[in-house]
């Protein structure tokens, strides 16, 4: 439940060369889904490597409120005794999803076709984010909802008593919307179809199949057509959560801009719907290699090796790549500031409705630290100053957004003067070991008083 606590101001100055291995936490998207799908299976799902960040812990709490037995046995080792599709209990308190859009949106989907009512809320960031993108398609199943203006949280969902299956064409490229519709389709009779014009992360499809659901994916002229047969009995699973490429992005990018660095980030999931950043960095001229490439649990996995890369160039990041790196634009903009030339990032309107308006948040902080940024509604461009030439010296607002906080601290590693953030508290939502891990590599991050 980040954003409810006292702000934690932090500052990062010049880092020593970053060296060693960076063992980043489990994948956030897969961790949420492991708990949720486990709750909808009949029997015991066992999870290893679960991300124990605040977002996922809020989802664990929510699953208990819907009747599942969720237990932690050791670091990252959890079990879920599920209640089955259609077996969800009605929570007797408000479900607080903290900072997590993925948590609240997927849970709304999973309960929307059960005859129960639940009220959802979150922190100040989540309560500003659009929810009509979820409640509109859920209404097609027969679900009712009442929220604040523009569908904002707090919001109550009245699940459909007699749900009907739905065919839904995604109006935005969003894995959260796709997943919410598919999860609602689980407890509707017949076939629910989602058509996505642009591919987004496909963990829901892969994992539902793994849990025994009948789900097909077809590539057509209209895009990916996903067909789910409702009311399956989901079979409990043993899940090894891969490490999060979106968290790996931080030590990788930090190494690329910090003189003398050579960092190994082992066991990173390289699902093509998630790995756009790494291709982009290579196009910019980063010394980034994939070692020990292999398959684990049906997902491509590799060890990433990133070395200091003082000659990176700005590029035009193709719009079609946006969905596969949507969470990585903040840290990419920090790398872009240390490259030469302009990095243009288009087709990224969705960045405006993340945990913060990420274009605005990064533009404000980069400009305050001496970097020129141009922006429009769905694009932005950073004019790089070349390696080590960012003046720094300013304090950046993080707007309750973990990725904004981590990005600006890393900016400080390679800037002439230290960079501060007004609140590093939200980092705990996705990367609770960030300070320790970066410190062990050689970074110089400190908590400060203001
Ligand atoms: C996520 C989907 C993405 C991403 C978020 C995690 C998921 O959001 O930004 O961090 O796990 O499905 P959108 O679906 O809104 O693009």
**C-alpha 205 to ligand 1 mean position (Å):** 14
Whether ligand 1 lies within 6 angstroms of the CB of 175 is answered as yes
Q: Are residues 14 and 80 in the same domain?
A: no
Ligand 1 pocket, mutate which of 137, 174, 349, 429 (most atoms under 8 A from CB): 174
User: Which of 179, 194, 227 marks a domain boundary?
Assistant: 227
Ligand 1 pocket, mutate which of 37, 53, 101, 321 (most atoms under 8 A from CB): 101
Q: Name which residue sits closest to atom 15 of ligand 1, judged by CA.
A: 174
Q: What does the pLDDT read at residue 369?
A: 98
Q: Are residues 92 and 104 in the same domain?
A: yes
**Of 327, 378, 401, 423, which one is the catalytic site residue?**
327
Whether ligand 1 lies within 6 angstroms of the CB of 274 is answered as no
For residue range 256-309, list pLDDT tens digits in order.
Answer: 999 999 999 999 999 999 999 999 999 999 999 999 999 887 779 999 999 999
For residue range 155-196, list pLDDT tens digits in order.
Answer: 999 999 999 999 999 999 999 999 999 999 999 999 999 999
Is residue 116 within 8 A of residue 110, CB to CB? The reply is: no
For residue range 53-80, list pLDDT tens digits in order.
Answer: 999 999 999 999 999 999 999 999 999 9
Does 155 fall in a domain? yes
Whether ligand 1 lies within 6 angstroms of the CB of 54 is answered as no
Q: Are residues 196 and 262 in the same domain?
A: no
Range of the domain at 174: 28-160+168-227
Whether ligand 1 lies within 6 angstroms of the CB of 172 is answered as no
| DSSP state letter for 116 | -
Q: Are residues 258 and 220 in the same domain?
A: no
Measured from the Cα of 323, ligand 1's closest atom is 16
Does 78 fall in a domain? yes
Q: Are residues 202 and 250 in the same domain?
A: no
Q: CA 144 to CA 162: how far, in whole Å?
A: 12
Q: Are residues 210 and 73 in the same domain?
A: yes
For residue range 317-369, list pLDDT tens digits in order.
Answer: 999 999 999 999 999 999 999 999 999 999 999 999 999 999 999 999 999 99
Supply the CATH number for residue 442's domain: 3.65.10.10
**C-alpha 111 to ligand 1 mean position (Å):** 19
Enter the pTM of the model: 0.97
3-state secondary structure of 76: coil
Q: Are residues 76 and 123 in the same domain?
A: yes
Whether ligand 1 lies within 6 angstroms of the CB of 174 is answered as yes
Does 73 fall in a domain? yes
Does 236 fall in a domain? no
Q: Are residues 417 and 392 in the same domain?
A: yes
Cis peptide before 154 (omega within 30 of 0): yes
Q: Are residues 153 and 17 in the same domain?
A: no
Q: Are residues 196 and 258 in the same domain?
A: no
Number of domains in the chain: 2
Known active-site residue 401: no
User: Which of 184, 203, 227 marks a domain boundary?
Assistant: 227
| DSSP state letter for 266 | E
Q: Are residues 58 and 16 in the same domain?
A: no
Does 293 fall in a domain? yes
Q: Are residues 275 and 362 in the same domain?
A: yes
Does 344 fall in a domain? yes
Q: Each residue of 227-264: b (16+ CB within 10 Å) or e?
A: bbbbbbebebbebbbbbbbbbbbbbbbbbbbbeebebb
Ligand 1 pocket, mutate which of 26, 27, 28, 29 (most atoms under 8 A from CB): 29
Q: Name which residue sits closest to atom 5 of ligand 1, judged by CA.
A: 102
Measured from the Cα of 174, ligand 1's closest atom is 14
Does 235 fall in a domain? no
Does 234 fall in a domain? no
């Amino acid at each position: 439940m980040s954003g409810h606590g006292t702000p934690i101001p932090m500052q990062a100055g010049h880092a020593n060369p970053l060296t060693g291995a960076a063992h980043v936490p489990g994948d956030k998207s897969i961790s949420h889904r492991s708990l949720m799908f486990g709750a909808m299976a009949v029997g015991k799902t066992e999870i290893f490597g679960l991300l124990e960040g605040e977002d996922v812990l809020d989802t664990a709490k929510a699953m208990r409120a819907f009747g599942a037995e969720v237990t932690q046995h050791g670091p990252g080792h959890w079990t879920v005794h599920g209640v089955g599709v259609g077996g969800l209990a009605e929570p007797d308190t408000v479900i607080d999803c903290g900072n997590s859009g993925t948590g609240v949106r997927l849970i709304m989907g999973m309960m929307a076709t059960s005859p129960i009512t639940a009220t959802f809320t979150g922190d100040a960031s989540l309560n500003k984010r659009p929810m009509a993108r979820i409640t509109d398609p859920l209404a097609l199943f027969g679900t009712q909802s009442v929220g604040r203006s523009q569908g904002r949280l707090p919001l109550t969902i009245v699940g459909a008593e007699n749900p009907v299956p739905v065919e839904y064409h995604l109006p935005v490229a969003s894995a959260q919307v796709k997943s919410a519709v598919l999860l609602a389709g689980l407890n509707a009779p017949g076939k629910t179809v989602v058509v996505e014009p642009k591919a987004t992360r496909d963990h829901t499809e892969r994992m539902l199949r793994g849990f025994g659901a009948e789900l097909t994916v077809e590539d057509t002229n209209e895009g990916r057509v996903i067909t789910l047969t409702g009311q399956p009995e989901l079979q409990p699973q043993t899940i090894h959560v891969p490490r999060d490429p979106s968290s790996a992005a931080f030590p990788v990018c930090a190494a690329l801009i910090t003189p003398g660095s050579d960092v190994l980030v082992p066991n990173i999931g390289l699902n093509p719907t998630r790995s756009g950043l790494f291709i982009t960095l290579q196009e910019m001229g980063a010394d980034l290699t994939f070692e020990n490439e292999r398959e684990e649990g049906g997902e491509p996995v590799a060890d990433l090796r990133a070395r200091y890369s003082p000659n990176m160039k700005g590029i035009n990041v193709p719009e079609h790549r946006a969905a596969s790196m949507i969470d990585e634009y903040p840290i990419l903009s920090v790398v872009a500031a240390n490259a030469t030339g302009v990095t243009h990032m288009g087709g990224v309107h969705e960045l405006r409705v993340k945990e913060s308006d990420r274009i605005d948040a990064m533009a404000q902080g980069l400009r305050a630290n001496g970097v020129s940024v141009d922006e429009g509604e769905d694009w932005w461009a950073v004019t790089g100053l070349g390696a080590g030439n960012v003046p720094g010296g300013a304090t950046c607002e993080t707007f309750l957004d973990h990725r904004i906080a981590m990005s600006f601290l890393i900016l400080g590693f390679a800037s002439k003067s230290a960079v501060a953030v007004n609140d590093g508290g939200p980092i705990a939502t996705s990367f609770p070991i960030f300070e320790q891990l970066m410190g062990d590599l050689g970074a110089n991050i400190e908590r400060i008083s203001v």
